[in-house]
Structure 1
Amino acid sequence: MLIRLGFEIAYRFLQPTPMVVMLDIHGSRSHDIVDLQPLSTWPLLPTRQFRDAFGNTCTRLVAPAGLLMLTADAVVRDSGLPDRQAPDAMQMPVEALPDETLVFLRASRYCETDVLMQYAWDRFGHIPPGWARVQAICDHVHEAIEFGYHHADPTRGALRALEEGRGVCRDFAHAAVALCRCMNIPARYCTGYLGDIGIPPVDAPMDFSAWFEAWLDGDWYTFDARHNTPRIGRVLIARGRDAADVAISSTFGPNTLERFQVWTDETRQPLLAAPGEAAGLALAG
């Protein structure tokens, strides 16, 4: 199947301001890109790309005073299959874990394993280690947190999400990641596109999504505590320890977000014009 995806984001700045944005499709999906209008700016600005410590593509630029628009559009080939399932996948003992997975066992900005350790072992210590334990964590987080866009809070970590019982997709991911790490299961935070493919349409604006991956039986497997069911059509943008590592934009000065539109839909057509192009041109004018 083919998926049409992209975004149109506009910021307003008081003065020239350096930025780092993380909006490119992850390199692991580059071979699936069928058609691409890469990240572009209005007004046209010089940009420079680099790879961060987790292999994500980052773009540096200096936003001018006034309006800045960021846009991209792509068609990506996808298997059309739901998230891979491996119910028999086993948890590896810590001493057998690859060195590169150990960073995903440690506490991070939004995943406070030190204060959640007892909470996790009280609830999941009796669950057989492996897939069943990760799924039990997802089930618990799915039930413990109420989803709502009005619950968004960029300062909330896993502990507060579980205490308050509310949040957005990043909070579900942070809580599940933290609890997995408490149980000695490497877990990493993921962000990307996830459209309403294979499910009834959702009456809410499209947004980027957050999920996580857990290391079991020598491989990374996708889990999603918010939806808590295998989904079709995930397209990764970035991975890291938590949301602090994969912010879509880091601005080094004050600004106002004026427009945010994301699209992710099944398609049979090549790129013609971005779904938000007409509105974007009006805003730019």
Structure 2
Amino acid sequence: MHIRYGYEITLTCQQPTALVCLLSVHEDRAADIRAPESFFTAPDVPSTTYRDLFGNRCRRLVAPAGDLMIWGDATIEDDGQLDPVLPNAREMAVPELPDDCLVYLLGSRYCETDRLSQIAWDMFGTVAPGWGRVQAVCDFVHNHIRFDYQQARSTRSAFEAFHERVGVCRDFAHLAVALCRCLNIPARYVNGHLGDIGVPVVDPMDFSAWIEVFLDGQWHTFDPRNNVPRIGRILIARGRDAADIPLINSFGPHLLKSFRVWTYEVPGPV
């Protein structure tokens, strides 16, 4: 299966403004790229790329005063399989965890483990450890939060989402990540492209957020927003929460003038 994906974003800045953009596919999927990313801006401005502390590809540029359109497009090969489900995957005790997992047990900007710890243990402490407990967390979050684009708020935390019971995919992900960490299960926040392949209901195209959880020695995908295995996830970035991997980090004020995302299956080579 081949999937074309991309974006067109226009920002308006009052003055020249430094940007760091996390919009390119993650290195973990680089070998699957079949049509390399075409990237340009209008007006044309120079840019450079680097890897951040989490291994994500970041692009630096300076937006001029006025409008700046940022455009990217690529095609990736995907196995066309649903997200794996491994019900026998076990939790690992903290002393068994690799060193690089430990940061994903700690509280972070949007995932307040200190405020949610007792809630997590009261709700899930008696659930058998392992895949089933993580799925129970995702089931709860999926049913607890009402999805509503009109109620999106960039500052909403996991604790606030728990009490407000409304949000968008990032809020579902933050709450599930925080609850898993409270239960001593490493969890990290992920964003990327997720089209409507294999699903009957078509939502407006957008970037998506989901989570990865460390069980049985490896990271596994869970999606508390959709809460069903999906086809064709295209990873962009991973971090502790959305503060680590904003799609666009602006070092000055800007307005989002337009936003378009596409993700769809295309014919492969004959």
Same fold (TM over 0.5): yes
Counterparts of 1:241 and 1:62 in 2: how far apart (Å)?
26
Q: Give per-residue Cα distances to partners, 1:26-61, cap 9 Å, x unaligned.
A: 010001110024332111111111100000000111
Give the root-mean-square deviation of aligned CA atoms: 1.0
What are structure 1's unaligned runs of at least 5 residues? 271-285
The SS at the match of 1:159 is helix
Q: 1: distance between equivalents of 2:40 and 2:30? A: 18
- Other-structure match for 2:204: 205
Aligned counterparts of 1:112 and 1:263: Cα–Cα separation in 2: 33
Which residue is 2:229 aligned to? Answer: 230
**Once the 2 structures are TM-superposed, how far is the Cα of residue 256 of structure 1 from its aligned partner?**
1.1
Return the letter of the residue paired with 1:64: P
Moved more, 29-38 or 134-143: 29-38
Measure, in 1, the Cα distance between the counterparts of 2:37 and 2:101: 34
Count how many residue pairs are aligned between Structure 1 and Structure 2: 269
Q: Is 2:153 the counterpart of 1:167?
A: no
Q: Which amino acid aligns with 2:212?
A: E
Deviations 1:181-227 (A, max 9, x none): 0000000000000000001141x421000000000000000000011
| Runs (4+) off by over 3 Å | none
For 2:268 and 2:42, the matched residues in 1 are separated by 26
Q: Deviations over 1:148-188 (max 9, x none)?
A: 11110001010111101100000000000000000000000
Establish whether residue 264 from structure 1 lines up as the match of residue 260 from structure 2: no
Structure 2: gaps of 5 or more residues: none
User: Residue in 1 aligned with 2:117?
Assistant: 117
Do the aligned partners of 2:194 and 2:232 also contact (CA within 8 Å) in 1? yes
User: After the TM superposition, which of the residue ranges 261-270 and 142-151 deviates more from structure 2?
Assistant: 261-270
Could you say which residue in structure 2 is the equivalent of 1:146? 146
CA contact (8 A) 1:145 1:172 kept: yes
Q: Which SS does the other structure have where 1:81 is aligned?
A: coil
TM-score (norm 2): 0.98
| TM-score, L = length of structure 1 | 0.93
Q: 2:238 matched to which residue of 1?
A: 239
